[in-house]
Amino acid sequence: MKPSMEERVQEALRDETPEHRVNRMWAGIEGRRAAKKTPARWLGFAAVAAAVVAAVVLWPEPNPTLALEDGSSVPARMNPDSTYTFSDGSRIEASADGHVDTLSNIEGEVAFALRSGAAHFDITPNGPRRWRVVASGVEVVVVGTVFDVERTSEAVDVRVERGVVLVRGANVPDGEQRLEAGDALQVALVGSEREEETAPEAASEARPVQEVQQVPVDGPVDSEPPAAAETTLDDLLRYADAARREGRHPQAVRWLARASSEYSEEPRAALAAFTQGRIELDSLDRPAAAARSFARSLRIGLPRPLRETAQALRAESLGKAGDPGALAAAERFLVRYPQSQYRQQVMDATGAGEPTP
């Protein structure tokens, strides 16, 4: 008997927590419990002083929201041509024409908007909160780094001096790009003349700039996928999952297309092609492309339980695309799978009738 969806979900999910996470959480628990202990439990003045110093240096500040280094509140609007130093040592330097607003300052996260001009961000790594900087639909997510953001009427430039950032936005290639030290990215704004010419800009540091191939965010399915990089099959499938989960179906299709073409010898490549076909058919309404993806999945070698489904969906896709081969595909399917649950679906999509005995 076929397992239910709930059973399949239970079976697919991991039971055990990864060891590194177990250890990391235990260290966090010990730290929090130690921070809660009162000074009276420590013997001697020296021990008390040491405990206070340790609490200040090692554990996050008790105030969950970010403040300026003098203890005053972070202003809602920062002055141009000014430097702001924060309680965790981070710093924002607004250029002469840089206008930075504070969007939010809550426990665990702080967000700023660059309204115009440029600003330099120097974020203390391993701090207790995440930093986000947004500029005209482009979002930079920070986990301890030094970077510059400049906004003009046509583009947003992001240059990373140290650390790692993620840049997200509708016009960011593949919807999201990871930049490391020495990388730079220029994102054309919607409606600008440079919208179709978004290109990387060389940074002044020695490390070469990350090449970002020009691919429209929602371009034709048959466009070339991004240039191959040192990306594992697991990475590609993970990126595809994340994109699909966030509704970024064109990006998910790109990742899956790379997975099935670059790792065509791997068993999971067939499943990647199959999933690509599902997205193209169900979410993107691209039946011709879906038919090709299902065909590729069958060629690479789908697991037996999925072959009937792939055949059915290929025939359905051909029918929806108005492909002249749809009828033949449907008839072959109906002969091969006379008891299939997909019979009616295939006949409806292709106009095929019941095969003659």
**164-168/138-142 β-pairing:** antiparallel
Which amino acid would we find at residue 137?
G
Q: Shortest gap between Cβ of 271 and another protein (angstroms)?
A: 4
Q: Shortest gap between Cβ of 151 and another protein (angstroms)?
A: 18
DSSP state of 195: G
Minimum CB distance to another protein smaller for 303 or for 355 = 303
Minimum CB distance to another protein smaller for 26 or for 52 = 26
Minimum CB distance to another protein smaller for 146 or for 259 = 259
Measure the CA–CA gap between 297 and 306, rounded to whole angstroms.
10
| Non-local CB neighbours of 51 within 8 Å, separated by 6+ positions | 39, 42
Minimum CB distance to another protein smaller for 49 or for 190 = 190
Question: With contacts defined by CB under 8 A, how many residues of the chain interact with another protein?
Answer: 56
| 139 near another protein, rule: CB under 8 A | yes
Measure the CA–CA gap between 176 and 301, rounded to whole angstroms.
31
Q: Shortest gap between Cβ of 196 and another protein (angstroms)?
A: 26
Q: Shortest gap between Cβ of 272 and another protein (angstroms)?
A: 6
Rule CB under 8 A: choose which of 63, 73, 79, 104 binds another protein.
104
Minimum CB distance to another protein smaller for 93 or for 316 = 316
CA-based nearest residue to 135, from 159, 160, 117: 117
| 10 near another protein, rule: CB under 8 A | yes
Is the CB of residue 192 less than 8 Å from the CB of residue 153? Answer: yes
Is the CB of residue 149 less than 8 Å from the CB of residue 156? Answer: yes
Minimum CB distance to another protein smaller for 27 or for 56 = 27
Stretch that binds another protein, among 16-24, 66-74, 92-100, 325-333 (CB under 8 A): 16-24
Stretch that binds another protein, among 26-34, 49-57, 92-100, 188-196 (CB under 8 A): 26-34
| 55 near another protein, rule: CB under 8 A | no
CA-based nearest residue to 294, from 320, 314, 318: 314
Minimum CB distance to another protein smaller for 6 or for 70 = 6
Rule CB under 8 A: choose which of 99, 120, 132, 254 binds another protein.
132
CA 311 to chain centre: 32
| 237 near another protein, rule: CB under 8 A | yes
CA-based nearest residue to 256, from 292, 287, 285: 292
| 68 near another protein, rule: CB under 8 A | no
Rule CB under 8 A: choose which of 51, 59, 60, 130 binds another protein.
130
For 345-349, the CB contacts below 8 A with 24+ separation are 345/312, 345/316, 346/312, 346/315, 346/316, 346/319, 349/315, 349/316, 349/317, 349/319, 349/320
Measure the CA–CA gap between 202 and 184, rounded to whole angstroms.
7
| Non-local CB neighbours of 47 within 8 Å, separated by 6+ positions | none
Measure the CA–CA gap between 110 and 104, rounded to whole angstroms.
5
Q: Is 209 exposed, middle or buried (0-12, 13-18, 19+ CB in 10 A)?
A: middle
Rule CB under 8 A: choose which of 61, 109, 148, 323 binds another protein.
109
Site for another protein in 254-313 (CB under 8 A): 268, 271-272, 274-275, 278, 303, 306, 309, 312-313
Q: Shortest gap between Cβ of 62 and another protein (angstroms)?
A: 15
| 193 near another protein, rule: CB under 8 A | no
Q: Which two tokens stand for residue 222?
A: 């048959």
Residues that bind another protein (CB under 8 A): 5-6, 8-17, 21-22, 24-26, 28-29, 32-33, 36, 103-104, 106-109, 111, 130, 132, 139, 141, 143, 166, 168, 237-238, 241-242, 244-245, 268, 271-272, 274-275, 278, 303, 306, 309, 312-313, 341-342, 345
